[in-house]
Amino acid sequence: MRIGYIGLGIMGKSMARNILKAGYEVVVHNRSRESVMELVGEGAFEAHTPAEVAIAVDIVFTNLPDSPDVELVALGEDGIIEGAHPGLIFVDNSTIKPATARMIGKRLGEKDVTMLDAPVSGGDIGAREGTLTIMVGGSDAGFITAKPVLEAMGKTITHVGGLGDGQIAKAANQIMVAAQMVAMGELLILAQKAGADPEKVVQAIRGGAAGCWTLDNKPQRLFAGNRQPGFKAYMQAKDLGIVMDTAREYGVALPLSAVNTQLFNAMLEMDMRELDNSAVIGVIEQLAGVKLRI
- C-alpha R_g of the chain: 20
- % of the chain residues with pLDDT over 70: 100
CA 36 to chain centre: 20
User: For residues 159 and 225, what is the distance between their CA atoms, to the nearest angstrom?
Assistant: 38
pLDDT band at 159 (very low <50, low <70, confident <90, very high): very high
Q: Which sign does the torsion angle of CA 248, 252, 255, 261 carry?
A: negative
pLDDT band at 225 (very low <50, low <70, confident <90, very high): very high
Contact by Cβ (8 Å): 26, 20:
yes
Q: Would you say residue 123 has pLDDT above 90?
A: no
Q: Would you say residue 273 has pLDDT above 90?
A: yes
Contact by Cβ (8 Å): 100, 64:
no
User: For residues 206 and 204, what is the distance between their CA atoms, to the nearest angstrom?
Assistant: 6
User: For residues 191 and 201, what is the distance between their CA atoms, to the nearest angstrom?
Assistant: 7
142: left (phi over 0), alpha (psi -120 to 50) or beta: alpha
State the pLDDT at residue 8: 98
Of 163, 15, 182, nearest to 98 by C-alpha is 163
209-221 confidence digits (pLDDT tens): 999 999 999 999 9
Mean pLDDT of the chain: 97
For domain 168-288, the CATH superfamily is: N-(1-d-carboxylethyl)-l-norvaline Dehydrogenase; domain 2 (1.10.1040.10)
- CB within 8 A of 158, min separation 6: which ones? 133, 134, 135, 136, 169
Q: Would you say residue 254 has pLDDT above 90?
A: yes
Residues 10-14: what's their mean pLDDT?
95
Residues 226-240: what's their mean pLDDT?
95
User: For residues 258 and 220, what is the distance between their CA atoms, to the nearest angstrom?
Assistant: 28
pLDDT band at 116 (very low <50, low <70, confident <90, very high): very high
DSSP 14-48: HHHHHHHHTT-EEEEE-SSHHHHHHHHTTT-EE-S
43-98 confidence digits (pLDDT tens): 999 999 999 999 999 999 999 999 999 999 999 999 999 999 999 999 999 999 99
Catalytic residue list contains 170 = yes
The catalytic residue among 21, 111, 147, 170 is 170
Residues 170-185: what's their mean pLDDT?
98
Using DSSP's 3-state secondary structure scheme, residue 276 falls into strand
Residues 250-271: what's their mean pLDDT?
98
Backbone angles phi, psi at 45, to 5 degrees: -110, 145
CATH 3.40.50.620 fits 2-162, yes or no: no
State the pLDDT at residue 212: 96
Q: Which H helix or E strand runs over 283? A: helix 281-288
pTM of the full structure = 0.93
State the pLDDT at residue 230: 85
Range(s) of the chain covered by CATH 3.40.50.720:
2-162
